[in-house]
Structure 1
């Protein structure tokens, strides 16, 4: 298991300090897509630049998921 962090960015980043343990980069990317779906439902069209940036435990950026495509 690896720890992945899901930072919210729209100009000013909101850091994920706890992270989530997942088995792979692919699982982390899938999780970021689920988070984006949840944000779209809870805050429809609040910020067109909002994205979720997936960072692995070594600090490497794995993926960027645009919340409002």
Structure 2
């Protein structure tokens, strides 16, 4: 298991200080997509620049998930 951090960024980053233990980068990416879906449902008119940035326990950026599609 590896620890992944899911930072929210829209100009000013909000750091995930606790992280989540998952089996792989792929599992972390799936989790970021689920988080993005939840944010869109809770706040459909949110900041269009919002991204979820996955950082692994070594500090490496794994993935950036756009929360709101650019074509809206």
- How far is 1:45 from its partner? 2.3
My pick for the range that moved more, 10-19 or 39-48, is: 39-48
TM-score, normalised with respect to structure 1: 0.98
SS in 1 for 2:12: coil
How many positions carry a matched residue from both structures?
Answer: 69
C-alpha RMSD over aligned residues: 0.4
Task: State the 4+ residue runs in structure 1 displaced beyond 3 angstroms.
Answer: none
TM-score, normalised with respect to structure 2: 0.94
Structure 1 residue runs of 5 or longer lacking an equivalent are none
Superposed CA offset, 1:30-61 (max 9, x none)? 00000000000001121000000000000000
Residue of structure 1 in register with 2:6 after alignment: 6
Map 1:1-69; keep pairs closer than 5 Å: 1-69=1-69
